[in-house]
Amino acid sequence: MILSYGCVDAGVHALSNVCHVDVERISKRKPGEVLPPHEPSVVKKAVNHFLQKNEGDIMITDVRCVAADFHARYKAQERTYFYRLLSGPEHLSTFEKDRAWHVPEELDLQAMQKACKVLVGLHDFSSFRASGCQAKSPIRNLDELNVIEVLPSPYFPTALERETQYLVTQGLSESNGDLSCSNQNKATGEASLGFGMRRRHRCFVVTARARSFLYHQVRLLVGAIKSVGTGDLTVSDVERILEAKNVTANGPMAPACGLYLAHVKYDLP
């Protein structure tokens, strides 16, 4: 039986993590008698009951019955991670603390996207492998690495956005309703926010997808990409770091707070 839940290393978050457990149901009336296993939905409800009762930080999102040889780590076909960066001089909101990497500088999205392209594919990622990594080989195939700008979250509409959306729904505007993230943030920054109103940060999400990753590989990748975004590194520097095949050639890795395990893919019936 496998359970999908949210819990990973200290400081890192999970939208979906997976573990496997062996469950044996023994009769209370006839000690020693093995009963048929509970339905997955019953297990999910029961475990979440005790997690919530004890104010746990995780919850079960899905339960499946699997073969006896299933292993949550070694049977995984693909893993996807997200990393959130919030760019802007304002201090982070209390709601965002320990949920993203705050970068006070402006980030160059196009430069970061170019750096991602250098790192996609089959490479020796020794320069993106922290000391203490127990993997036998530094060779990994990075299927996807990209960065996009998204709306910041928690997200609440500004007065300008509320008015614009109202006009769209009333059929009075067709073109002004489709504002990009950058345009919305720009409009908010240029307008008079009024007393007590906060300017939004720009929010960037890096997506990394592969069958498996090296120890701290994603955080080291994001650290280099962020440095390209701030202008501290160039795309050529990223190529040089990759070719060096030594983590000492790389810069600081991104903090754990912005990393999210997004999805683990299996071949399930």
For residue 156, give the DSSP letter. -
Residue 81 marked as a ligand binder: yes
Active site residue 62: no
Give phi and psi for 217, each to the nearest 5.
Answer: -60, -45
Q: CA nearest 177: which of 162, 190, 196, 189?
A: 162
On whether the CB atoms of residues 202 and 181 are closer than 8 A, the answer is yes
The pair of structure tokens assigned to 155 is 């997200």
- Give every CB contact of residue 118 below 8 A, 6+ residues apart in sequence: 235, 238, 239, 242
Helix (H, G, I), strand (E, B) or coil at 239: helix
**Bridge partners, 83 (sequence order):** 206, 259
On whether the CB atoms of residues 116 and 83 are closer than 8 A, the answer is no
Q: Which residue has the tokens 């928690």?
A: 154
Distance CA 199, CA 210 (A): 36
**Which of the residues are catalytic?**
9
Q: Which positions make up the binding site?
A: 81
Q: Which positions make up the binding site for substrate?
A: 81
